[in-house]
Structure 1
C-alpha cells in the first residue's frame, strides 16, 4: 500500500496556476479564475438570502431537538 503526502497549499496553488497558464494561456486562465471567484460570491449571496428569511428560533429548535 502506498502512503500519500499532502503538498503545501502554496505549492499546490502555484503548480495549478502554472498548469493552467501552460495549457490555456494567460487570458483563458484569468477567465477561469474569475469564474471560480464569481461563483463563490454567488454562493455567499445565496446563503445570506436564505439566512435573512430563516426563522432562527424554529431552525435551532428543529436542529437541537
Structure 2
C-alpha cells in the first residue's frame, strides 16, 4: 500500500515476528543489543493494542490444516 504523506508523519511495515516480539517486551523503551530502540506499540488498555494482539495471536491460513 501507499502512504498518504499528508496524513502521516511516518509509517513503516513490520513483520508478524517483529510485532510478536514487540508484544512480549516488558518495557517498550528498552534499548536493543544493536543500540537501537524498537518501535513502540500502544499501551495494553488501548483498543489499537488489542487489535494488534488479536492479529498476532490469530492463526494464519498457512497454519491451518488443508
* TM-score where L is the length of structure 2: 0.33
**Structure having the higher Rg:** 1
Write 1 or 2 for the structure with the bigger share of helix. Answer: 1
More contact order relative to length (CA 8 Å, sep ≥ 6): 2
* TM-score where L is the length of structure 1: 0.33
